[in-house]
Amino acid sequence: MQPNMTDYPSILKPQWSKLSAQLRRARKSNYYRDRIPAAAEKLQLHRHLFQSLPITTKAELVKNNLDFLAVSPSEIREWVTTSGTTGQPVRIALAKTDILRLAKNEAAALSLAGLRAGDGLLIAVGMDRLFVAGLAYWLGAQACGALSLRIGPSLVDIAGAAKLPLAPGRKWFLIGVPSLMASSLRDGAPLPENLGGIIGIGEPLLNADFQPNAVHRALAQFTCAPILSTYASTEVCCTFAQGPKCLGNHLNPQMGVIEILDAGSKPCKPGVSGRVVITPLGLQAMPLIRFDTGDIAALHLEPCPCGRSSPRLGPIVGRSAQLLKVQGVSIFATAIIELLREIYAGMDAIIHADRDAIGVDRVVIYVVCPPRRQNLLRTQFHNAARRHFKWIPKIQYCDIETIARIRSLRPSRKPQILIDTRVG
Ligand SMILES: [Zn+2]
């Protein structure tokens, strides 16, 4: 069979030989040895084989974790885990070369956002508890020749930190979870005067049509500096980044191959949302093949306004594990929270999905909001939900302790928007 290039619009020509090398590495693991045919080790000659390779899911990675190792235990330098926001945390092993790759990957992403040697990076992300993100930003800042300050998820210490000296003309960049940063800024945390940009991780800052969402607008009230997003997943150590002029986040072709697949695992057309599936390039310890991140987004192949031509990933519109099916309608939990934030950005909310005794899904949105705003929020939200979802979710106002109690049902390091107790 002749390879059909139109089947792989997002795989760039130089990536095929790197993909072959990755498949050779993967076949060293117990998991992939029998799942990947030997001929795929020369994938550049047999491109048609790519689509027949199995998709690797998070569930498979949890279930067969150690079988994914392609190196001996003595070669492992770090174990990291995912946050477990949408299920069980996943353990990932990193070899020495994987840590060097992590630094290179993050340095490229931070450079795209504008970080230069001599600038300062305020890392508002945890470095402990096997979390890879904080480590990655620290490594990336070091590889860029920048100063890094590990201030942690709260911006409480930012005032003193940002007064530390930088080289003349250099700027501070702040990286963290957008909704947490917005909440700290609302509580009075000051930003440095010479701010070069805010980089948001883990949550989208734009709607699918590239318009700023409510969190983006909340952050923009506090600064004129660019507010940029970055997309990455722990399992594939592959960051998609953007600069001030970009529409979407650029793939770094050195680090991974991206596919956007529909429900039948066929490639979606550019601009059409589907499952984000990534094959990282150059990973040694746990070389994943066609890893389904669980995120839903579209890929854009036309050149970016910034002038770069590498494929761009659009905003994450949802996660497949956070898809609610109620009264015959499918709705992403993120879409519900975005809608609430559009109406009142200062609220906090969590969606609780469970199932009653006869198997019917129940969805309740617990919202913390000042009493004087509650009636208006409910009315506006019901009207908007009827328009957008053809469904009116149940809102229950509560205090912050109730939300904390619901969140504790499924502890996670990331801000949770959905607690799903329908299964498990
Ligand atoms: Zn761009």
pLDDT tens profile 374-384: 999 999 999 99
Q: E-strand spans in 89-167?
A: 91-95, 120-124, 147-149
109 alpha carbon – ligand 1 mean position (Å):
12
Residue 212 CB contacts under 8 Å (≥ 6 apart), including other chains: 205, 206, 220, 227
113 alpha carbon – ligand 1 mean position (Å):
10
- 71, 95 Cβ separation under 8 angstroms: yes
41 alpha carbon – ligand 1 mean position (Å):
33
pLDDT tens profile 263-308: 899 999 999 999 999 999 999 999 999 999 999 999 999 999 999 9
345 alpha carbon – ligand 1 mean position (Å):
28
Estimate the crossing angle of helix 371-389 against helix 333-343, to 10 degrees. 130
Closest of 188, 189, 186 to residue 215, by C-alpha: 186
Give the pLDDT score at 260.
Answer: 95
Q: What band does 423 get if pLDDT is binned at 50, 70 and 90?
A: low
261 alpha carbon – ligand 1 mean position (Å):
23
80 alpha carbon – ligand 1 mean position (Å):
30
CA distance to 320, 335, 385, per residue, from 331 (Å): 10, 7, 11
Domains defined along the chain, listed by start:
91-316 (3.40.50.12780), 320-420 (3.30.300.30)
Closest of 300, 253, 297 to residue 279, by C-alpha: 253
311 alpha carbon – ligand 1 mean position (Å):
9
309 alpha carbon – ligand 1 mean position (Å):
8
- Mean pLDDT of the region 145-167: 88
187 alpha carbon – ligand 1 mean position (Å):
33
241 alpha carbon – ligand 1 mean position (Å):
9
Q: What band does 32 get if pLDDT is binned at 50, 70 and 90?
A: very high
Mean pLDDT, rounded, of the chain: 90
- 89, 82 Cβ separation under 8 angstroms: yes
pLDDT tens profile 75-120: 999 999 986 655 677 899 999 999 999 999 999 999 999 999 999 9
Rounded CA separation 49/39 (Å): 8
5 alpha carbon – ligand 1 mean position (Å):
24
Q: What percent of the chain has pLDDT over 70?
A: 95
For strands 299-300 and 312-313, give the pairing: antiparallel
pLDDT tens profile 112-127: 999 999 999 999 998 8
259 alpha carbon – ligand 1 mean position (Å):
19
251 alpha carbon – ligand 1 mean position (Å):
10
Cβ burial of 404 (10 Å; 0-12, 13-18, 19+) is: exposed
262 pLDDT higher than 60: yes
3 pLDDT higher than 50: no
Q: Which residue has the higher pLDDT, 154 or 250?
A: 250
pLDDT tens profile 195-234: 999 999 988 899 888 999 989 999 999 999 999 999 998 8
312 alpha carbon – ligand 1 mean position (Å):
8
106 alpha carbon – ligand 1 mean position (Å):
16
Give the pLDDT score at 11.
Answer: 85
358 pLDDT higher than 80: no
pLDDT tens profile 241-250: 999 999 999 9
175 alpha carbon – ligand 1 mean position (Å):
19
236 alpha carbon – ligand 1 mean position (Å):
22
Give the pLDDT score at 234.
Answer: 85
385 pLDDT higher than 60: yes
Give the pLDDT score at 7.
Answer: 58
pLDDT tens profile 43-68: 888 888 998 999 999 999 999 999 99
For strands 120-124 and 147-149, give the pairing: parallel
Q: What band does 155 get if pLDDT is binned at 50, 70 and 90?
A: confident
19 alpha carbon – ligand 1 mean position (Å):
24
315 pLDDT higher than 70: yes
Q: What band does 142 get if pLDDT is binned at 50, 70 and 90?
A: very high
5 pLDDT higher than 50: no
Q: Which residue has the tokens 């761009």?
A: 312
Closest of 237, 265, 262 to residue 252, by C-alpha: 237
